[in-house]
Every structure is written in structure tokens, then in C-alpha cells.
Amino acid sequence: MLRAVIFDFDGLILDTETAGYRTFVDMFAAYDVQLPLDLWARVIGSSDHHDEIYDYLEACTGHSLDRKALERERAEKKLSLIAREKALPGVRTVLEQADKLGWKIGLASSSDRAWVEGHLEKLGLRHYFACLCNREDVERTKPDPALYLQAAKCLGVEPSEAVALEDSPNGALAAKRAGMRCIIVPNRVTRHLPFGEVDLRLSSLEELNLGEWANRMNRKLPVSPERRSNHESYRI
């Protein structure tokens, strides 16, 4: 029986992913290099592989770079872009739906706690979350399932009793590895990336009626291996 929802943060609650992508694209363009989408796909939703981007850029330019200076400049530009953003459509509505259902609400993010909590406070959403699980809480971030398993433990529910809301393939894979249902809402960047098995794909959280969807999932028999292999998505 579903009784908890666990949100991702970057790209799901606040569109920080577009700014992150744009700033890396601009950095690469300054060296007349293109950022491959498959390289970005390996990085997005995780904090474990950012060095891969700089490794690739150095390989393309043929010399070492001042990574700290480049990252400092990029981070400043990223923050400037994010400052203009508001919570993505439907986020507050789904939080209110979960609250009215009496569900436990958590968050699992590969970003650090200060980043997530600061933005949640600014957006006026922090009070909805009983648990925030961030990269400081685990040895490995997404696509490893540790963050989602930790969030479920913090909320006092079994993974099978929770649904994860995600925007990236790495995040969705982490949720499914943890044994959770997963609803994906790809953003402007991740909608071009391939996803594996998910339970529902939406273009916006505004489309989700959490109670109705949960009732359908609770009545459903477990998905058979054959249907899982087909990566079936369930739609309302």
C-alpha cells in the first residue's frame, strides 16, 4: 500500500538542470568544443561524475585546465540563472495532495543539504518535508539506490510503500533499484534522454492526481517480468 512520496530536487522541484547544462555548454564553446549529450546524461542527477566533464574537455583541448577557476566562474553564472526560477508547475499541488492523503513526504537529492534546504526555504516549501536525504548522508549518490533507501528508512516506510518523483534517468534508476514505484517528469534537458523502467511519465506534475494514481497502483497486481522488460509506463 502506497503511503509515502519522495521527491528529487534538482530539475524536479526547481529547474536547476537547464542552468547547469547551459553553463557547461557555454564553457565548452569558449574552447570550440561541443558537450556531448551522452556525457551529460551520465552526470545529470548524480554528484559522482562531474570530473568526467572536465576530463573530456581537457582531452579535447590537449592541455590541463584550471578546474577550480572554471568551476567557480560557472557556478556564479549558474546561480544567476537559477535566481530567476520559481518552483516548477504542479510541485506545490502534489505536496498538498500528499499532505491531505496523510502521506509521509521526503526528499532524496544528490546535491548537498545547504543547497537543497536553502532553496526549499526560499520557495516556501521546506515545511512539507519530514526528511531530507542528501549526498552527505550516503557513500554513493544516484544511480546508486542508497539515497532512496535512506529516505524510506527516515520516513519509517518500506521502499515498496513509496513512490519516487524524478526527472533524470540516474534518479529513476536509483528509485527502481531501491524497489520503489517511480513517476518521471523530464525537464527541458532530460526529456531528450533515454529512460528505463518507470511507472508513469508526465510532461508536468500538474497532470498528476496522486490519490487516483495511487488507488490504481494499489489495485494492480505486481508487474510481471515480461512487462517490466518492455519498460511499460502507466498513465492516468
Low-confidence ranges of the chain (pLDDT < 50): 221, 223-236
| Tally of CA atoms within 13 A in the half-sphere of 50 that contains its CB | 15
Distance CA 132, CA 56 (A): 33
List phi, psi (to 5°) of 106. Answer: -130, 180
Q: Give dist(CA 87, CA 98) in Å, integer.
A: 17
| Residues assigned a catalytic role | 8, 10
Measured distance CA(61)–CA(33) in Å, rounded: 8
Lookup: cell for 167: 526527472
Rg, Å, the chain Cα set: 18
